């Protein structure tokens, strides 16, 4: 079985779980941050939504220097708007993932800022670490924000205290 077919199943599941989390983001707590060093919700939630599209760079380019890109953070308007951003980026990544041949996974990929390396490794590691694990990490942070704001936390890798999945 081609590598991309194995990864598509995981990708679809992670995007579904991320979507469920973003759908529950409170719109009336945009400035909320659980700690002074934490990102406020109005930055974290859009970051999670936009990360869905970051995988496209990993899958279609040999490198990315953030200082040379045209990345602009999306504003937090509503949970529905964030889900739309996620869905749009995920659709592009899914199409690229579907078309990524096995030999592309071992090619080098680099992430930098003003020429200073942030990541350097295989495309597979970039996809897993810089893209997929990154979105999972920040989605988990959002789960904490939901809990601290009395919003239901969705089931992710099993039931949550709010969503028992029939258990």
Q: Is the pLDDT of residue 55 over 60?
A: yes
pTM, full prediction: 0.94
DSSP assignment of 99-142: T--GGGGGSEEEEEETTEEEEEEEHHHIIIIIIIHHHHHHHHHH
Task: Confirm whether 156 is domain-assigned.
Answer: no
SS3 49: helix
> Beta partners for 110?
63, 120
Other Cβ atoms closer than 10 A to 44 = 20
Question: Which domain CATH number covers 79?
Answer: 1.20.120.450
Cα–Cα distance, 140 to 48 (Å, whole number): 10
Question: Does pLDDT of 71 surpass 90?
Answer: no
Distance from C-alpha of 154 to C-alpha of 113, rounded to nearest angstrom: 35
Within-domain flag for 88: yes
Confirm whether 139 is domain-assigned: yes
With H, G, I as helix, E, B as strand and everything else as coil, classify residue 144.
helix
Task: Point out which residues pair with 36 in neighbouring strands.
Answer: none
Rounded distance between C-alpha atoms, residue 147 and residue 5, angstroms:
34
- The answer to whether residue 165 is domain-embedded is no
Share of the chain above pLDDT 70, in %: 98
**Domain residues for 20?**
3-148
The whole-angstrom distance between residue 1's C-alpha and the CA centroid of its chain comes to 26
Local structure of residue 28 (DSSP, 8 states): T
Query: What are the C-alpha distances in Å from 96 to residues 42, 57, 100?
Result: 29, 10, 6
- Measured distance CA(110)–CA(119) in Å, rounded: 6
> Average pLDDT of 56-84?
93
Count how many Cα atoms sit within 13 Å of the Cα of residue 14 in the half-sphere of its side chain. 25
Q: Which residue, chain included where needed, has tokens 């989605």?
A: 139
Per-residue pLDDT band for 29 (boundaries 50, 70, 90) equals: very high
pLDDT digits (tens, 9 = 90+) for 105-153: 999 999 999 999 999 999 999 999 999 999 999 999 999 999 999 999 9
Q: How many domains are there within the chain?
A: 1
Domain assignment of residue 160, yes or no: no
């Amino acid at each position: 079985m081609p590598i991309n077919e194995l990864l598509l199943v995981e990708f679809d599941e992670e995007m579904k779980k991320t979507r469920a989390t973003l759908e529950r983001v409170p719109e009336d707590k945009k400035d909320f941050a659980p700690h002074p060093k934490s990102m406020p919700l109005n930055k974290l939630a859009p970051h999670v939504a936009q990360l869905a599209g970051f995988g496209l760079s990993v899958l279609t380019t040999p490198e990315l220097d953030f200082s040379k890109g045209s990345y602009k953070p999306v504003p937090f308007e509503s949970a529905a708007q964030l889900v739309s951003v996620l869905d749009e980026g995920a659709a592009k990544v899914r199409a690229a993932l579907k078309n990524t041949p096995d030999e592309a996974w071992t090619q080098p990929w680099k992430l930098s800022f003003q020429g200073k390396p942030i990541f350097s490794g295989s495309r597979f590691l970039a996809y897993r670490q810089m893209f997929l694990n990154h979105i999972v990490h920040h989605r988990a942070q959002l789960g904490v924000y939901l809990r601290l704001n009395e919003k239901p936390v969705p089931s992710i890798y099993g039931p949550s205290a709010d969503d028992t999945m029939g258990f």
